Structure 1
Amino acid sequence: MKLYKNTTQAVIDSLTQIFGDKKYADKVIEKILKQNSKWGARDRRFIAETTYDIVRWYRLLMEVTPCGPHDYWKLLGGWCAMNEQELPDWVEFEGLNRKAILRKWEEVKTVRKIAESIPDWMDEQGEKELGRIWHDELKALNEEARVVLRVNSLKTNVKKLYREFSEVEVEVTLDERYPEALILAQRQNVFKLPQFKEGLFEVQDAGSQAIAPFLQVEPGMRVIDACAGAGGKTLHLAALMQNKGRIISMDTEEWKLTELKLRARRAGVGNVETRVIESTKTIKRMEKMGDRVLLDVPCSGLGVLRRNPDAKWKLSTEFIEKVIDLQQNILHDYSMMVKPGGKLVYSTCSLMPTENEKQVAKFLTNNPDFTLEEEKHIWPSEGFDGFYMARVVRKA
């Protein structure tokens, strides 16, 4: 592909904001793409995919390219060399030699933390906690994330929506492991599709789609989604409950619950009530009220690095230590909302036992009125994002 100055400059501007200003990559790219209405689909794809790829391989590119940490033109040149992309005769690329870059790659490609482009501490932590499987999971986390849709069963079904997409040449595939998922063959802006505006689907990774069914909800239950965020799993729970019963969706951030309400209206969901968690009193008022409680807790996000590659450069061991304490506090405090005989699911998008199995084991030791019923891993090497979930039962 030929490089053009305006789209290439957009990549440089994106990298400057992501690394220089420490902004989130998805927000930066979304804003950049809105700046020029004349860019076509190919231009937008080049800007987004190239930016994400350079962010993903930042450490490797820094290692093989003669440049400083904020010389984004040289980083782009190194990316071009690694991807057999011809470099234009631009002043920004002066001094770059493709053969020298590839020779350097040959020297470092057996050093995992460089070849897979992650910080030293992350490689050490992964090796320590996951042992021999860390290598394969890490490789999977460097693959490009696929766009997955969850079909809204309140309004349609997988076969019907599959046919609709075929008629408008939107190519999707199925995966028997995830009965409500449609996987896009090619990345595109699905939010412009009329089927999205009609509430026929939500964008939700296939691994994430496994969590709501794991809670084993039934129509008519009282269900509490206590870390609801913008409500992806709440909407899935509502569909599984056939809009019957009651879902109380809670979060500490009111703006997220406002977004949830908008999404619920589009999806035709009518059994959701939102509550802002203002203090521990909000939780105590709901003691023993839930037939089911979902705790999709804050975590390191190591299972979704293929979707958020900039997180590799923002995370730290100090942050993870803090989030582990927060997870245990949420488990301890929010579990009071489960009624006797009810069930709670603890879930994360992390791979690490310190955030997963060990958290649940510690909770069960300190809360003997709960017992483990089932736990489940979804690994990035299986093709989608990585998740952990454990279902515990409160003794009647």
Structure 2
Amino acid sequence: MRLHRNLCFAVIDGLTLIFNEGNYADKVIQQLLKRDKRWGSRDRGFVAETTYEIVRWKRLYAEIAEVKEPFDRDNLWRIFAVWATLKGIKLPDWKYFEHTPTRRIKGRFDELSQIRKYREAVPDWMDELGEKELGEELWTKELAALNEQADVILRVNTLQTTKEKLYATLFDQNLDTEPIKGYPSALKLKERANVFQTEEFKNGHFEVQDASSQLVAEFLQVEPGMRVVDACAGAGGKALHLATLMENKGQVLALDIYGNKLNELKRRAKRNGAFNIETRTIESTKVIKKLYDKADRVLIDAPCSGLGVLRRNPDAKWKLEPEFLEKIKKTQQEILQQYSRMVKPGGKMVYATCSILPSENREQVDIFLTSEMGKEFTFARENIVYAHKSGFDGFYMALLEKKN
């Protein structure tokens, strides 16, 4: 592979914004890809994938390059040289790469690869916490899986098409997909591609949604005609899935504290032809209180550490703080206590997170079940999804039933 100066500069500019200014990697990359209209898909792929890779392995590369944060541009070029060397890419004779110790880089890589926190590039506290909660063997396997590049998974919108039809129309456009056993609505892209430009996406025939995330709506056991509340709906990936499972019959009430996310859901619902979704912004507790004992089903897709989705959000490793984790666990319990009151007697509730930590998952459910409010519920079942076993995101979901 030959390195092109303008593409490398784009990567360095992106890393500056992500590492030094705390910007989100996905937003930075979106902006970078608009920088030069002459770039082809290969150029854009290089910028996106290289930036993500260096973000993912920041700790390892910085250790090998012997640089510390905040990184100046020279530091970032040294990190870039480490990435290129380990990829076997010949460095051009640019001033940024003068005196790059190629052999020393490879030696340091072999040395540091013996230590998990460097090999998998995670902060000390995260490595210690993961081992404490999951045990050494499970954490080691899971962490390695969470550093692999995520596949692009589509969820077929059965309100508009079928899996077979979508497979065929995408195949005609040289977008080769395959079904995934055990995931009824999923198609996996065999090669990464920008599917958002297709007519099928614009016409709402599919959404991009990880296979593990697709399990959550199904776990809630909804039926057409029900009144279902998605209590932390965000931009609505799961609300849209619920609407399809309910065949547009009944009502999906999508709630969130962020009105702008619900506006995005409205746009997506229109494109999907999902007409049974109603959005409500939680501006006060009144919104929840009005729904006490009214819902057949309640989905609590709780805010969490996001440790199960590091493959698609590698910068979360560097943004997450131990204090945030303690704070979010309190929020999770508060949400469980308050939102569970919307479930009517005989109804069901799913508590879900995209975390792999028991302290955010089963432990939260157990705390809830022993509380005054939780005594009205019984534990039905749970699904713990690990990335190293499934090949997809790490997820947790628990089904609880309210006594009649």
Which TM-score applies when normalising by structure 2? 0.97
Matching residue of 2:240: 235
C-alpha distance in structure 2 between counterparts of 1:204 and 1:20, whole Å: 30
Matches within 5 A, 1:110-259: 110-131=114-135, 132-259=137-264
Residue 67 of structure 1: how far off its partner (Å): 3.3
Are residue 377 (structure 1) and residue 377 (structure 2) matched?
no
C-alpha distance in structure 2 between counterparts of 1:319 and 1:16, whole Å: 24
In structure 2, stretches of 5+ residues that fail to align are none
C-alpha distance in structure 2 between counterparts of 1:111 and 1:372, whole Å: 40
Matching residue of 2:265: 260
Matches within 5 A, 1:92-107: 92-107=96-111
C-alpha distance in structure 1 between counterparts of 2:67 and 2:365, whole Å: 45
Matches within 5 A, 1:5-84: 5-69=5-69, 70=71, 71-84=75-88
Matching residue of 2:399: 391
Detail structure 1 runs of 4+ shifted over 3 Å in the superposition.
Answer: 66-69
C-alpha distance in structure 1 between counterparts of 2:275 and 2:68, whole Å: 54
Matches within 5 A, 1:312-331: 312-331=317-336
Which of 71, 85, 97 pairs up with 2:89?
85
Secondary structure at the aligned position of 2:288 is classed as helix
C-alpha distance in structure 2 between counterparts of 1:272 and 1:108, whole Å: 51
In structure 1, stretches of 5+ residues that fail to align are none
Secondary structure at the aligned position of 2:211 is classed as coil
Matching residue of 2:347: 342
Q: How many residues align?
A: 396
C-alpha distance in structure 1 between counterparts of 2:51 and 2:330, whole Å: 34
C-alpha distance in structure 2 between counterparts of 1:117 and 1:66, whole Å: 14
Note the alpha carbon deviations across 1:69-105, whole angstroms, 9 max, x for none.
3111111000011111111111011221111001111
Residue 68 of structure 1: how far off its partner (Å): 4.0
Which TM-score applies when normalising by structure 1? 0.99
C-alpha distance in structure 2 between counterparts of 1:108 and 1:327, whole Å: 37
> What is the alpha-carbon root mean square deviation over aligned residues?
0.7
C-alpha distance in structure 1 between counterparts of 2:259 and 2:399, whole Å: 27
C-alpha distance in structure 1 between counterparts of 2:306 and 2:79, whole Å: 26
Residue 187 of structure 1: how far off its partner (Å): 1.4
Note the alpha carbon deviations across 1:375-395, whole angstroms, 9 max, x for none.
001111110111000010000
Letter in structure 2 aligned against 1:93: F
Letter in structure 2 aligned against 1:85: I
Contact residue 288 and residue 339 of structure 1 kept, 8 A: yes
Contact residue 116 and residue 138 of structure 1 kept, 8 A: yes
Residue 149 of structure 1: how far off its partner (Å): 0.5
Letter in structure 2 aligned against 1:355: E
C-alpha distance in structure 2 between counterparts of 1:388 and 1:355, whole Å: 9
Letter in structure 2 aligned against 1:187: R
C-alpha distance in structure 2 between counterparts of 1:300 and 1:282, whole Å: 26
Note the alpha carbon deviations across 1:258-316, whole angstroms, 9 max, x for none.
00000000000010110000111211111001000000010000000010000000001
Note the alpha carbon deviations across 1:53-72, whole angstroms, 9 max, x for none.
00000000011113343111
Matching residue of 1:362: 367
Note the alpha carbon deviations across 1:131-165, whole angstroms, 9 max, x for none.
12111000000000111100001011111111111
Letter in structure 2 aligned against 1:155: Q
Letter in structure 2 aligned against 1:78: V
Residue 177 of structure 1: how far off its partner (Å): 1.6
Contact residue 66 and residue 96 of structure 1 kept, 8 A: no
Matching residue of 1:270: 275
Letter in structure 2 aligned against 1:362: I
C-alpha distance in structure 2 between counterparts of 1:378 and 1:209, whole Å: 12
